[in-house]
Structure 1
Amino acid sequence: MAVVSKHVPAPELVAVKRALLSVSDKTGLVDFAKALASRGVELVSTGGTRAALKEAGLDVLDVSEVTGFPEIMDGRVKTLHPGVHGALLAIRDDAEHADAMKQHGITGIDLLCVNLYPFEETVAKGADYATGVENIDIGGPAMTRAGAKNHAYVTVVSDPSDYSSVIGALEANNGSVPLSLRKTLAQKAFARTAAYDAAVSNWLATEIGAEAPGYRAIGGKLAEVMRYGENPHQAAGFYVTGEKRAGVATARQLQGKTLSYNNINDTDAAFELVSEFDPARTKAVAIIKHANPCGVAEAPSLTEAYHKALLCDPVSAFGGIVALNDKLDAEAAEEIVKTFTEVIIAPDASDEAVKLVAAKKNLRLLVTGGLADPRAPGLAVKSVAGGLLVQSRDNGVVDDLDLKIVTKRAPSEREMADLRFAFRVAKHVKSNAIVYAKDGATVGVGAGQMSRVDSARIAARKAQDAAEAAGFGEPLTKGCVVASDAFFPFADGLLSAAEAGATAVIQPGGSMRDDEVIKAADEAGLAMVFTGMRHFRH
């Protein structure tokens, strides 16, 4: 049964006379507390926070002096007391609440400054189960929610970045905080505890092996307000989840204008793809447009890999994203900046490369500090009307698969190397996906078509166009291999690839007509291997 409101109107301004501070992140804490104290605010605190404030020379009441009860159980129980929660939840202008405060000796808390145990950071570092559990905050979220609920009278500060706005409000309003700011901070506080609980529940789901728990919460922290979303009429924000996996969310932007919604989406796709290539084995470059690769290549150097990748589809590469699997050097940077590029992302960049890129003031350069582990577990989330589709990340890697040769002719050593390369790329192409590859480079990519035959034909046509642009006598698909992200349901797609010049095929297999497709491959003299793993990407 819903609780009925007493309809006590919230005051426009609330004077801050007593503040409770209890934080894990002590960034800016002392200056914030000094600013409060300078306005005559009485400070109450706990444990390590109180020690830090006392060391700074501030007068601070211990929370036990408010509750009349000591901290117990290694600090697990210190603020879970009516002396604290009554002080936060009391409706000051309600006679019954005011009488209860007087009867029990409760003094109102007008400002609550709390940030939570660093649970997300702790588990991201690989903490064991017991350590993870011990870093689940209880008192902090309970106080935060109490104060946020009663934002009619309480200012809740859950993020050090808000200290300055609160002090500014106190200075502008003679020691009071306006309702509009209290509402804003309350919303942020509830969002923070929701994201915190989401992190805890998802960690526990992983720890106990619950692939589809009864409730699934997703949380994130705003990293940036976007100018707009996928289109100018759509509002958007970029939120980070706290996952420490290298990528666009954790990258440092060294230069260039702010990333757009589409830039972030495409840059993520580019970096995820190029991270499939181990830099200890080969240098690799991926060029992405609209989240699909228009050229991918591996070579002994980044410069050579870039040229090979660009050759696949130089028209689509204009205005694209370039991702590298190793430190951007000056030689590669000099070549990349010759083509209009929106973003370059790499694990690192040399000083010389940074200077070369800086000549293009709008070109964004991001460094990640490492590659994204393609085998790492994680969640992929997509919204649908009225719900969320949540699945585990596609962390299948072709090098881990047991490839099965199903045709009379086995692939040659060169063909097998290119087959692995092509299937690695196909994983990152929108379905239906067809990838032609030769000598460690894509030579034709067909993406996102309703028919696999159409994808095969489009990829072949792009290869023809690229050959004509480069002045070659024939398309690079002659003598190439072909990868399909899913099985060929009929032989027609396979035969289209053969017509384009493919000599070997890699696909998951599993069709009712596999025998028919294998027979067609044998008749065409193709070598074919099955992976047993599909890579749909919608």
Structure 2
Amino acid sequence: MSSSLPLRYGTNPQQTPARVYMKDNSDLPITILGGSPGYINLLDALNAWQLVRELKQATGMPAATSFKHVSPSGAAVAVPLPETLKKIYFLSDTELSPLAIAYARARGVDRMSSFGDFIALSDTVDLPTANIIAREVSDGVIAPNYEPKALEKLKLKKGGKYTIIQIDPYYEPELTERRDLFGVTFEQRRHNRLVTHDDFKNIVTTSNKLPAEAIRDMIVAWIALKYTQSNSVCYVKDGQIIGVGAGQQSRVHCTRLAGGKADLWYLRQHPLVLNLPFIPEIKRSARDNAIDQFLQPDVTEAEKSRWRDIFTHIPEKFSLEERREWLDRLENVTLGSDAFFPFRDSIDRAAQTGVRYILQPGGSTRDEEIITACDEYGMTMVFSGVRLFHH
């Protein structure tokens, strides 16, 4: 290890020179085992590592996240996978360890956004996890350790140029953090507030049912939002994010964006999608793009013409009624928000995607209006009292 690491360039190629370093000349908490990370890679890696570390601490389960542009496109803990999810995640004949399951869930929920991701894993990387990573388009991985066979497998990726980072799992930064912007230095206390079960005790709705699975999913939402660019909202089911809306200026736009991703995730499980007539040699990335196009309500004739290179025959699309009937089967989804809801519009949108449980800080002048909306839908809402902005 060393106290400084030179980088090819900064955020953009014209931003040179660039490096990361320790101001106190102590060793960096990371060791590069393969490849050459860039500036954005390390921003993703260090944010993502904190997310999975906290998820593992809070749940006791292996955790994984798939990061793109300093926000998670997916995050999950190791809840066993049903056969349908194995199929849509391309894992039907794949050996799966708990850590591999966590990454499969994190990567599989939004495969288009995860294309070229940076991966963080809470535990020592084993061979089943490395085998999944090896076949996906990804920029790099950060973890506390690697089994020898897993490391050997990952070092073959990208012709030996795949970025592999080992992080000291016991490293803790100082309590004060600083950032320079336009020659001005900002200083604040590091956001080291951890999730606790007390954060889920203030149930404010008429419905007060909060099963253990919903609390687990609220923990996933709480921690994921802590490391997602604000404004942010996420939908969670069965220990995994199923939709993220990040970096939007309006909260309802976050809710719509994340809800649309969650809808697509569930629609991918419909028998019509599971049995789409792909040509045998189609690549996974082309299949993902085609499924996304197929699931859009409107498709142009030009897009349909390109399907002739993807499908053995042009499939029939969902009717709007079939689409809605299938989505109405989605239930017991948890919605998390990094700050309060200023209007009930987000609650109305959440109801369209099977939301039953909501976690938010509370504190809006319209809190009573939001509570009334949740009561109308029979939702259980918790006020955590903890805002989770991340910038």
Q: Determine if the TM-score, normalized by the shorter chain, exceeds 0.5.
A: yes
- Identify which range, 502-511 or 463-472, moves more after superposition: 463-472
Q: Tell me how far 1:530 sits from its aligned partner.
A: 0.8
Residues 129-140 of structure 1 mapped to structure 2, 5 A cutoff: none
Distance 1:490 1:238, change over 3 A: same
- In 2: Cα distance, 1:437 partner to 1:260 partner: 31
Distance 1:241 1:468, change over 3 A: farther
Alignment correspondent of 2:241: 442
Contact kept, 8 Å, 2:262 with 2:353, in 1: the verdict is no
Distance 1:420 1:228, change over 3 A: same
- In 2: Cα distance, 1:251 partner to 1:401 partner: 33
- In 1: Cα distance, 2:248 partner to 2:205 partner: 27
Matched, 1:510 2:363: yes
Residues 157-168 of structure 1 mapped to structure 2, 5 A cutoff: none
Alignment correspondent of 1:57: none
Aligned residue identity for 1:269? N
1:430 to 222, 229, 242: 229
Alignment correspondent of 1:408: 206
Matched, 1:343 2:140: yes
- SS of 2:249's equivalent? coil
Contact kept, 8 Å, 1:467 with 1:475, in 2: the verdict is no
- In 2: Cα distance, 1:241 partner to 1:529 partner: 41
- In 1: Cα distance, 2:6 partner to 2:386 partner: 38
Matched, 1:285 2:64: yes
Alignment correspondent of 2:76: 297
Alignment correspondent of 2:317: none
- In 2: Cα distance, 1:323 partner to 1:330 partner: 15
- In 1: Cα distance, 2:10 partner to 2:107 partner: 28
Q: Tell me how far 1:274 sits from its aligned partner.
A: 0.9
- In 2: Cα distance, 1:415 partner to 1:254 partner: 38
Contact kept, 8 Å, 1:485 with 1:536, in 2: the verdict is yes
Alignment correspondent of 1:198: none
Matched, 1:456 2:255: yes
Alignment correspondent of 2:295: none
- SS of 1:496's equivalent? helix
- In 2: Cα distance, 1:262 partner to 1:226 partner: 10
- In 2: Cα distance, 1:244 partner to 1:304 partner: 36
2:40 to 262, 267, 288: 262
Alignment correspondent of 1:308: 105
Q: Tell me how far 1:278 sits from its aligned partner.
A: 2.6
2:374 to 518, 521, 534: 521
5+ long unaligned stretches in structure 1: 1-220
Q: Tell me how far 1:458 sits from its aligned partner.
A: 0.5
Q: Give the TM-score normalised by structure 1.
A: 0.55
Matched, 1:329 2:133: no
Cα deviation, 1:317-342, whole Å, max 9, x if unaligned, reads: 11111110000001111111110111
Residues 387-406 of structure 1 mapped to structure 2, 5 A cutoff: 387-399=184-196, 401-403=198-200, 404-406=202-204
Alignment correspondent of 1:62: none
Aligned residue identity for 1:427? K
Distance 1:232 1:498, change over 3 A: same
- In 2: Cα distance, 1:291 partner to 1:309 partner: 15
- In 2: Cα distance, 1:480 partner to 1:244 partner: 45
Distance 1:303 1:222, change over 3 A: closer
- In 2: Cα distance, 1:244 partner to 1:524 partner: 54
- In 1: Cα distance, 2:214 partner to 2:207 partner: 12
Q: Tell me how far 1:419 sits from its aligned partner.
A: 1.4
Aligned length: 312
Matched, 1:379 2:176: yes
Distance 1:289 1:401, change over 3 A: same
Q: Tell me how far 1:426 sits from its aligned partner.
A: 1.1
Distance 1:369 1:228, change over 3 A: closer
Alignment correspondent of 1:191: none
Aligned residue identity for 1:291? V
- In 2: Cα distance, 1:379 partner to 1:270 partner: 20
Cα deviation, 1:374-427, whole Å, max 9, x if unaligned, reads: xx7622323333422211111112226443111111123322221122111111
Flag the structure with larger Rg. 1
Q: Give the TM-score normalised by structure 2.
A: 0.75
Contact kept, 8 Å, 1:406 with 1:530, in 2: the verdict is yes
- In 1: Cα distance, 2:25 partner to 2:381 partner: 39
Matched, 1:488 2:341: yes
- In 1: Cα distance, 2:331 partner to 2:152 partner: 40
- In 2: Cα distance, 1:467 partner to 1:439 partner: 13
- SS of 2:365's equivalent? coil
Distance 1:309 1:516, change over 3 A: same
Contact kept, 8 Å, 1:295 with 1:310, in 2: the verdict is yes
Contact kept, 8 Å, 1:222 with 1:237, in 2: the verdict is no
Contact kept, 8 Å, 2:255 with 2:349, in 1: the verdict is yes
Cα deviation, 1:430-485, whole Å, max 9, x if unaligned, reads: 11110100110000010000101001100111123334455365499643100000
- Identify which range, 295-304 or 326-335, moves more after superposition: 295-304
Residues 464-475 of structure 1 mapped to structure 2, 5 A cutoff: 464-469=263-268, 471=273, 474=327
- In 2: Cα distance, 1:486 partner to 1:244 partner: 36
Distance 1:407 1:501, change over 3 A: same
- In 1: Cα distance, 2:105 partner to 2:382 partner: 25
- SS of 1:459's equivalent? helix
Distance 1:372 1:299, change over 3 A: farther
- SS of 1:517's equivalent? helix
Alignment correspondent of 1:227: 8
Answer 1 or 2: higher relative contact order, Cα 8 Å, separation at least 6. Answer: 2
Distance 1:429 1:379, change over 3 A: same
Q: Tell me how far 1:229 sits from its aligned partner.
A: 1.0
- SS of 1:287's equivalent? strand
Aligned residue identity for 1:355? E
Q: Tell me how far 1:494 sits from its aligned partner.
A: 2.1
Contact kept, 8 Å, 1:275 with 1:372, in 2: the verdict is no
Cα deviation, 1:121-159, whole Å, max 9, x if unaligned, reads: xxxxxxxxxxxxxxxxxxxxxxxxxxxxxxxxxxxxxxx
Distance 1:406 1:445, change over 3 A: same
- In 2: Cα distance, 1:343 partner to 1:378 partner: 28
Aligned residue identity for 1:241? K
- In 1: Cα distance, 2:170 partner to 2:30 partner: 11
- SS of 1:278's equivalent? helix
- SS of 1:417's equivalent? helix
